[in-house]
Amino acid sequence: MRLGGFVIHGSDVSTLPACLDSLKAVADEVVAIDSGDAAPRTEVRTIKHAWEGYGSARAAAVRALDGCEWVLYLDSDERLGEAARETLRAWKTSGSRAPAHLLPVHDWAELPTGRFLYRTHHRARLVRRELATWKPEMIVHEALGRPDAVRLNAPIEHRFATAIPQRVEKEETYALLWAVRANAEQRRGKLPWLQRPAMFLRDAFIKGAAWRGGLEGLKLAWTVAAYHSRKYELLEELRAGKHTELEEAYKARRFAEVFERAARAR
């Protein structure tokens, strides 16, 4: 099975070399989608692609890997450890008939007070190329929904958080982007006040951030959980007639403008 790997990166390229090295260790072909203003030197094929969201960038990567049967993607702050590389090398000889594979993602907190595993979750990151279909409307940072995907124990190591204030800003921006898309797709809302405590309990205690990170784990879990309540609050605001410029830009498919306005709105 011919495996293609890709990564999307912007101007922050500090973690990119480790990411690319891990992809090159398992993939037959690797492409880097450069959506920033930096020009890092890499030994892989680089494609300049103006930033219009994750859907557009990922679709460009899949098109570039047209000679591959499968695609595996990482974010620029992710990498595959040696155990994951060995698992993927063995998988390539397995003749897998699955449509996609769910890989565990280890979200690491690297805070001034120390490093700990914040949580583990599974995402469809290894997908048959013909099923790896992203659309430009898919602006937010989401994996493909594949309920028929099969789990594969090849962990992705993700540098999830380096400072809690930075997570606050990121969660606010992405909550607004999610709400814009959800509003356009007429998704059902949920009770905002219920989401934050529910997600806090999930990450802090069920997934174990509190046990591994102590007080900092609790603080980070409360910060991350805000995203889940905030996105439904913002969805209510959109349905009440607020953020009309963002809504109009999304409907007109001016996705770069959507990101710019969402960043300014936080």
Tens digit of pLDDT for each residue in 65-92?
999 999 999 999 999 999 999 999 999 9
Cβ neighbours around 175 below 10 Å, total? 23
8 A C-beta contact, residue 70 and residue 120:
no
Q: Does 176 share its domain with 123? A: no
pLDDT at 6 over 80: yes
Torsion of the alpha carbons at 16, 22, 23 and 29, rounded to the nearest 10: 110
pLDDT at 143 over 80: no
* Mean pLDDT score across all residues of the chain: 94
Q: Does 111 share its domain with 29? A: yes
Q: What percent of the chain has pLDDT over 90?
A: 86
Task: Tell me what pLDDT residue 147 has.
Answer: 85
Task: Tell me what pLDDT residue 252 has.
Answer: 97
pLDDT at 8 over 80: yes
Q: Does 231 share its domain with 201? A: yes
Q: 131: which DSSP letter? A: G
Q: Does 104 share its domain with 233? A: no
Question: What stretches of the chain show up as alpha helix (H) in DSSP?
Answer: 16-24, 54-64, 82-91, 164-184, 192-201, 209-239, 244-251, 255-265
Closest CA relative to residue 136, chosen from 62, 58, 56, 255: 56
Number of domains in the chain: 2
Task: Tell me what pLDDT residue 13 has.
Answer: 80
Which of 122, 139, 161 lies at the terminal end of a domain, its last residue?
161
CATH for 106:
3.90.550.10
Q: Does 129 share its domain with 179? A: no
Per-residue pLDDT band at 41 (split at 50, 70, 90): low
Task: Tell me what pLDDT residue 40 has.
Answer: 60
Instruction: Find the domain containing 175 and state its range.
Output: 164-265
Helices (H) and strands (E) in the chain, counts: 8, 9
pTM of the model: 0.94
Task: Tell me what pLDDT residue 108 has.
Answer: 98
8 A C-beta contact, residue 203 and residue 224:
yes
Q: How far apart are CA 10 and CA 32, in angstroms?
A: 10
